[in-house]
Amino acid sequence: MNLLASLNLLEIESMKPILTALLICFPSLLAAADSSDDKAGQPNIVIIMVDDMGFSDLGCYGGEIPTSNLDALAAVMHRLDRSIGVLVDGLKERGVLENTLLMFLSDNGASDEGGLLGKFGPGTPGDAQSGVYFGRAWANASNTPFRLYKKNSHEGGIATPLIAHWPAGIAARGQRCTQPAHVIDLMATCVDLVGADYPETHNGKPIQPMEGVSLKPLFLSPSVSPPRSRALYWEHMGHAAVRDGDMKLVRQGRNGPWELYDMSADRTELNNLATEYPDQAQALAEKWEAWAERARVKPYPSGK
């Protein structure tokens, strides 16, 4: 749903609780940047070389790397920021901002598609019809200090922030919460907040129970909320992970070896503990397999 449609829906359904999702895709393709934007070409990035590594020649780029993709992303994100401002202003004008829960998040880390410095599709970065991808080098910079990219289940692919705004409902305003959560928790949160009951059947057929947990306790008091009661699971293109408490098991591809990390001490996933704690790794692998069957990740589609 687009921005104006969301605001119009508020007027049509003014007496009912509503749920709407704004799915904003143009940052992924560096598309729809406003060429008149005075912030275009001015990314807030500073690179400091602590030591002289001797890199005076960067091959075909000489001593400088072009930043057209970075410039376009800065303009795209500034336009996105203004659009969110339009949404907030619209909620204020309709008198519903105080009791509206806004949850803003990205669905993944930066993508490495588009080669080293980006391209892949037609067009110019920032154009309305751009098919240009960010590129591995810029994705690596964006995801640092975390490893790997969008498609992966390492932190570079899955670690993104969630910003929640709800003046009438969030007691812990301005606080930072480090408890891990997942997009599956958003539905559980909405069901909890409106006092609904999640159905067990539909048209006489059983429905898979929700895997997520409500984030309401974190909104009320993140510092005293109990630890997460359920493990978190991921799978995308064969890349997979499970996190239970502070321990995370992750692999690259269906046939890659499982890696084990203590996320309380090693968020950057540099110290693989799988050989040191094989029993713990095996137990988490079995939990992931059980989830993959339950959530119908497996059996994998034929030929994929």
Q: Answer whether CATH 3.30.70.20 is correct for domain 231-304.
A: no
Low-confidence ranges of the chain (pLDDT < 50): 1, 38, 41, 44-50, 62
Distance, CA of 102 to CA of 200 (rounded, Å): 28
Q: Which helix (H) or strand (E) holds 164?
A: strand 162-165
pLDDT tens-place string over residues 197-217: 999 999 999 998 899 999 998
**Residue 4, pLDDT score:** 63
- The residue behind tokens 């110290």 is 271
CATH 3.30.1120.10 residue spans of the chain: 231-304
Strands 205-206 and 162-165: unpaired
pLDDT tens digits, residue range 154-201? 999 999 999 999 999 888 788 888 899 999 999 999 999 989 899 999
User: Which residues, other chains included, contact 261 with Cβ-Cβ below 8 Å and sequence gap of 6+?
Assistant: 247, 248, 250, 269, 271, 272, 273
Mapped onto helix, strand or coil, the DSSP state of residue 104 is strand
pLDDT at 49: 47
Task: Specify the pLDDT at position 25.
Answer: 74
> Are 24 and 80 contacting, i.e. CB atoms less than 8 angstroms apart?
yes
Q: What does the DSSP 8-state code read for residue 132?
A: B
Stated pTM of the model:
0.82
